[in-house]
Amino acid sequence: MAGIRKKPKSSGKYQGWFIDYKGDRKFFAGTKRKSETLRMAEKFEDDHRQVRLGYRPIPKKADKYKNKHITIISDEYLAWGKSQGGRGGKPWGKEHLKKRTSHLKWWEEKLSLEVMADLDGILARVEDILRELQLQNKSGKTLQNYAETLNSFCSWCIKRGYLGTNPLHDLAPFDTTPITIRRAMTEIEIVELFQAAPLERKFLYAVAFTTGLRAGELRSLTENHIDVENCGLILNAEWTKNRKPGLQPLPASLLGNLQKFAREKIAGKLYEKFYKNFEGIDLPENPLLYVPSHPAREMDKDLKIAGIHKTTSAGKLDFHACRVAFISYILEAGATVKEAQVLARHSTPDLTLNTYARANDSRLAALTEMVAGRLLFKSNSQALLTEDVVDNSPDFSTKTYQPNHHLPEKMHQKCALCVPKGESLPLPENCKLLINNNLQHFRGNGGGGIRTPVPRCFKTSVYMFSRLIVFSPY
């Protein structure tokens, strides 16, 4: 039976009790009026009696938070993110935290959310709001970011008992395929960009193209992050995207000039000049490089001066395209998949190969010529394809193939990059394409014969940089 204590507590409120649907006695703090507290106890007991008889559903833990203001819960969610919401229990990154905070506030305004109960049945309204954004030509990635913020918040609330179920469980994902992709700049374009850029951005581009570091990571570098002994840059877990420390190799030809640039304190002077009106941006002491507040916008100016098209049929160029070029060139230089993944600091090789890496059309054509030079000959040293006759019949001869490297010019299948007109077909070990690209043939013991050429370079990033430009700004 429901009841109350005879005397109030020290706060002046009476304590009541009732029998819940399980048959257990539950106590609660009532009001300062004895009769009102007794009515509350009788009401609670009647509600639980109806649950026990099957007239009402069993109460859930989240029901007691239905009337709690959503701002209090969202602030707790953001505080958790600042403390341990990132990878490996580390805090969120500054940019990630900024986006989560703004997106949550945006959803509260759009959905008119005041208390936690307002989250019930919001799926249809959320889909309608996202469709409105889609009509505003927002990309699928942007739509997914907005949806993921609210979905992540709801999932976090479920784990802590603030919600019983996720109202966005059935929200379908958006197609995040980029509308326009970034392309890797050609070597000629990179040289022209260096010639057009001022000194401080030459260093910025040089480090970006040879390390693949992102704009935020470049902005966090200081003089103390230069490792002369290991010829690289020390990366701190506090500001890297993958939240892991590391050492990024740096070309030796760039390291000395970079130290000289840092000693002249040019980056610090530029930050004082252009960042004095910016709030909320934490700038490092003794910065190594000057990174503009909008690096892509400043890069557009340099592209225009250099006469480089920002957008072509192959894709667009922005500052993050420096990272695309870095990953593409290290793979072109002969890096293994694992080496490329480590240098790019990616969690999976799929992200390295299928999101960032770009194929070089000229190399594809050269490789095709090399394949044609090996395959389009019969055992009798007659070309399969000539100007006079096309013989499509296969040759099933069991004779051993003995290539003739002194074919007549009419029969000669030339490699477009290796063999000048009129010269004989070169031996593989004398191929100019292999020599110019510092490649060597690797012969296996079966399963396909000659393998893909591999480089002799000892540091992929150093080798790639030496192909681009001899950096000497002073």
Query: In the prediction, which pLDDT does 280 show?
Result: 61
**Quick one: which of 432, 408, 410, 428 has its CA closest to 420?**
432
For tokens 């470049």, the residue is 218
pTM of the model: 0.67
Query: In the prediction, which pLDDT does 473 show?
Result: 57
Rg of the chain over Cα atoms, rounded to whole angstroms, equals 33
Q: Three-state secondary structure along 326-363?
A: HHHHHHHCCCCHHHHHHHHCCCCHHHHHHHHCCCCHHH
For the segment 229-255, what is each residue's pLDDT rounded down to a tens digit? Answer: 999 999 998 889 888 899 999 999 899
CATH topology assigned to domain 187-333:
hpI Integrase; Chain A (1.10.443)
Residue 109: exposed, middle, or buried by beta-carbon count in 10 A (0-12, 13-18, 19+)? exposed
Point out the residues of the chain with pLDDT beneath 70. 277-281, 377-474
Torsions phi, psi of 30, nearest 5? -95, -140
Residue 371 and residue 375: Cα distance in Å, rounded? 6
User: Which string of b and e fits 206-220 if b means at least 16 CB within 10 Å?
Assistant: bbbbbbbbbbebbbb
Residue 376 and residue 357: Cα distance in Å, rounded? 31
Query: In the prediction, which pLDDT does 276 show?
Result: 75
Query: In the prediction, which pLDDT does 278 show?
Result: 65
**Quick one: which of 183, 181, 184 has its CA closest to 329?**
184
Per-residue DSSP letter, 248: E
* DSSP strand pairing (232-235 vs 15-19): unpaired
Show me where the domains of the chain are located.
3-59, 70-159, 187-333
Q: Is the Cβ–Cβ distance between 41 and 33 less than 8 Å? A: no
Query: In the prediction, which pLDDT does 119 show?
Result: 94
Each as own residue / partner, the long-range contacts of residues 53-60 (CB below 8 Å, 24 or more positions apart, any chain) are 58/21, 59/21, 60/164
Query: In the prediction, which pLDDT does 285 show?
Result: 86
Q: Is the Cβ–Cβ distance between 422 and 410 less than 8 Å? A: no
Query: In the prediction, which pLDDT does 467 show?
Result: 52
Query: In the prediction, which pLDDT does 375 show?
Result: 83
